[in-house]
Every structure is written in C-alpha cells, then in structure tokens.
C-alpha cells in the first residue's frame, strides 16, 4: 500500500529578514544580514551584544489587543505566521473541515520572556502580583494551542520540543500525521522569542555565542575558519502541509513535496554533538531512505550551519557520511549567516527556504565566508546566490541533547 503524500500549499514567516514570505526570501537571495546590536534590552555588560531580532512586528496586525496581551512573544509570532500561511494557501477553516485540520508547532524555550518578567514581579511584589496568565503564556505547547484557537482547527494538535531541532521535528511529525490519515491538513513549523537577558547570559556562559561585536552583520560566518559562535535569533515559520489529493482537488498552489523525514539521537553529550557526526548522518540517511532518494539525487542542502567551531566541522563529516563522494558536488548553504540561529524556529524557516529553492531553482548563499577551513571543505555557496536546478533539497537541524532531524523536499511538477 502506497503512503499518502504531503505537499506544501502555504507558508508564513516572521523573521529578522522581514515579516512576510517575500521579504524573507528576497533578502536571503540578496545576501542581506538581519543581525545588529541588541535593541530589546541593555546588553552593554554582556560578552555578546548582538542578535538577529524581529523588527517592526505589530501583533495587532494579526490579533486583537486582548488576545495579544495574553500571549508571549513566541506565540504572537506563531499566530502571525500561521495567519499568513492560511492566507497564502487560500485556506478557510470551517465546520466541515476543522476536524481534519491540525496544528503542530515546535519551540525550544517557550515563553521565556514571560517567565523572566513574572519572576521579577514575584521577587519585587510577591506572589499575589504574579499574572494569572503566567502558565498559559509560558508553556511550550501554547503556540500550537493558540494557533488552533484562532484558526478553529480541531484536528491533531501538539508540540515537539527538541531544542534547535524542534521546527524540523515538528514538520516531520506533522508529515507523519498526514501519511497516517489522521489529518488532511497540518499547520506546522516552529516559533521562538528567546532574545532575553537570561537566555543571552546563559548562552554567553556556555561560550556558545559570537563575540564579533565590532562587526554584527559579519559575525555569523558558518563553515568559515574564523567562526567563533552563533548569533541568537528569533521569529517563526509556519507551513501548510496538505495531503496531495486534497490539495489537487481544491486547486491549491503547491510549492514542493515533503518526501521524507528522518531523526536520530547522538547518545553522546548534553550540548556537544557527536564529533564524528554519527547521529546527524543517520537522520540524513533515514530521511533519504524514507523518500526513496539516493544520495546522488540530492541537489541542495540547507545546513544547520550554526557558525560554531565544533558543529560546522561535525556537520561536514555527517554530510560526507550520508552522501559519500557526492557530498563534494552538492550545493550547501547556511542561511543562519543571515537570520542568526532562531533555535526552535530555525528548522521551519530553513525548510521554507528549501521549498523556495525547489520552486525557483535559486540557492541562497552562505554570507561572510572568507577563510577556508580544511575541516569544512565542501561547496557552501559562498557569499552570492546561485542559479541551480533543485529537484531534491534536504534541510537538517541538530539540537542540544543530541537530537538530529532531516527533511527531504522534492520539486513539484504538477503531475500528482
């Protein structure tokens, strides 16, 4: 029995490169950076003073004032991206289809901003002053919950929390739900709003963040020999995944097909990846096998590419393990060089980029690539976008705790 197939029929983005799909994609292709000095709090005392913040975002464009006040920023981002995706898909949720439409949106940290602010209120004013909305504004599953509520979707609903792999895992989990005939449509992706004093301080304490404070837009430099850490980012990406027959029946526009999904654990360390890339390679290979795609068919990889010394070298090894000699012929880019690392939202916005690569036959660059590292010796599409026929793209994500996930996307030719 053949598996049900899932295609992407709508996409929405809130990002440091723009708060809609076209702005995000155009700025990626133009190689623009969304990184600057932190504006949301005073970072003068922090070792890392830079971030990829979402700017000019107005929750009132998508939500009532009352609803927005009761949501953490990461939920607002998710709701905004979901509304964009629904509009892009020309999809209305109604009484007839609501039970076959689900929501699965991941996050890494959840309502961290709310948590920090309410903790300060507790310390300064006592427990009676803590907001009754603290818990529903803080918990990770509430991006999915709020999107389900605003859309009226009553199908499968959940949230995958796997650190920086959460967006990719959530899309993969939604893909499985459609394959298993538990839903016809899933709103899925990731959301994050973690540019807060506590989060930045924590990542600084781990020495995970770049300290190229003198050059914010040049600080994220994946696979470059002078990379020194990631730049923290925020935002959301939401995709409408739809069973192919359902999409064709209603005449939906199709961006690309989600053809395969793979996941694997490192079983190695709480924050460091397996240096040999075994788990990442396994996730990659499982995704290819699931899609019935050979390594030689892969045209493009949107890499995790965090701009940290260990990750980028490890990921290069993993790609070689998964693709063999073909690894040297595939185009690879890290869009984190422009968006920063959006943690639980990263895999979602990167999957969106991979889908647009399939549609447009255009590959975004890895900007700030200047210095060759012998440990990173593949084709990272340095600094300038490239025209390339992309029939098969892979987007992979790697999270703290050794969580590895990969998605395989195929160009859609309109043949069903």
Sequence spans of domains, the chain: 6-249, 261-411
Choosing from 304, 351, 358, 376, which is the catalytic residue?
Answer: 304
**Digits of tens for pLDDT over the chain (416 positions)?**
578 999 999 999 999 999 999 999 999 999 999 999 999 999 999 999 999 999 999 999 999 999 999 999 999 999 999 999 999 999 999 999 999 999 999 999 999 999 999 999 999 999 999 999 999 999 999 999 999 999 999 999 999 999 999 999 999 999 999 999 999 999 999 999 999 999 999 999 999 999 999 999 999 999 999 999 999 999 999 999 999 999 999 999 999 999 999 999 999 999 898 999 999 999 999 999 999 999 999 999 999 999 999 999 999 999 999 999 999 999 999 999 999 999 999 999 999 999 999 999 999 999 999 999 999 999 999 999 999 999 999 999 999 999 999 999 999 988 65
For residue 284, the surrounding DSSP H or E stretch is helix 278-291
**261-411 has the same fold as 6-249:** yes
Report the CATH fold assignment for 6-249. Peroxisomal Thiolase; Chain A, domain 1 (3.40.47)
Tokens of 190: 């990731």
Look at residue 245 and give its three-state secondary structure.
helix
What is the distance between the alpha carbons of residues 217 and 241, in angstroms, rounded to a whole number? Answer: 33
Look at residue 40 and give its three-state secondary structure.
coil
The CATH superfamily holding the domain 261-411 is Thiolase/Chalcone synthase (3.40.47.10)
Closest CA to 362 of 22, 28, 23: 28
Verdict on whether the full-model pTM lies above 0.85: yes
The answer to whether 164 is a known catalytic residue is yes
Look at residue 341 and give its three-state secondary structure.
strand
Inter-CA distances, 347 with 79, 165, 395, Å: 17, 6, 7
Choosing from 341, 357, 358, 376, which is the catalytic residue?
Answer: 341
The answer to whether 341 is a known catalytic residue is yes
Residue 2 has a pLDDT of: 75
Residue 287 has a pLDDT of: 98
The answer to whether 212 is a known catalytic residue is no
Tokens of 290: 């699931």
Choosing from 79, 140, 164, 358, which is the catalytic residue?
Answer: 164
Tokens of 176: 């499985």
Residue 414 has a pLDDT of: 80
């Amino acid at each position: 029995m053949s598996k049900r197939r899932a295609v992407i029929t709508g996409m929405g983005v809130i990002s440091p490169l723009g708060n809609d799909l076209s702005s995000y994609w155009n700025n990626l292709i133009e190689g623009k950076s969304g990184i600057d000095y932190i504006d949301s709090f005073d970072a003068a005392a922090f070792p890392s003073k830079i971030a990829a913040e979402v700017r000019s975002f107005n929750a009132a464009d998508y939500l009532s004032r009352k609803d927005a006040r009761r949501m953490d920023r990461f939920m607002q981002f998710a709701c905004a991206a979901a509304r964009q995706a629904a509009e892009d898909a020309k999809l209305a949720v109604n009484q007839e289809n609501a039970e076959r439409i689900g929501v699965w949106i991941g996050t890494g940290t959840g309502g961290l901003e709310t948590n920090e602010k309410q903790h300060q209120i507790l310390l300064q004013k006592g427990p009676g002053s803590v907001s009754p909305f603290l818990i529903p504004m803080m918990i990770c599953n509430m991006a999915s919950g709020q999107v389900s509520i605003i859309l009226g979707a009553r199908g499968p609903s959940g949230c995958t929390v796997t650190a920086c792999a959460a967006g990719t895992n959530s899309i993969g989990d939604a893909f499985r739900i459609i394959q298993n005939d538990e839903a016809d449509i899933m709103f899925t992706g990731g959301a994050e709003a973690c540019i807060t004093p506590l989060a930045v301080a924590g990542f600084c304490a781990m020495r995970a963040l770049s300290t190229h404070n003198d050059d914010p837009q040049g600080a994220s430099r994946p696979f470059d020999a002078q990379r020194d850490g990631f730049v923290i980012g925020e935002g959301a990406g939401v995709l409408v995944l739809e069973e192919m027959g359902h999409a064709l029946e209603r005449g939906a526009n199709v961006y690309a097909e989600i053809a395969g999904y793979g996941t694997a654990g490192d079983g190695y360390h709480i924050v460091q990846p397996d240096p040999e890339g075994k788990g990442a390679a396994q996730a990659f290979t499982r995704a290819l096998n699931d899609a019935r795609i050979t390594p030689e068919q892969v045209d493009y990889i949107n890499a995790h590419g965090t701009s940290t010394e260990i990750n980028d070298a490890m990921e290069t090894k993993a790609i070689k393990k998964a693709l063999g000699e073909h690894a040297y012929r595939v185009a690879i880019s890290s869009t984190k060089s422009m968006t920063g690392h959006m943690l639980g939202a990263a895999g979602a916005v990167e999957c969106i980029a991979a889908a647009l690569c399939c549609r447009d036959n255009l590959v975004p660059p890895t900007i700030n690539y200047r210095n060759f590292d012998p440990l990173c010796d593949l084709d990272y599409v340095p600094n300038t976008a490239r025209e390339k026929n992309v029939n098969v793209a892979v987007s992979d994500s790697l999270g703290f705790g050794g969580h590895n996930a990969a998605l395989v996307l195929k160009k859609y030719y309109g043949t069903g």
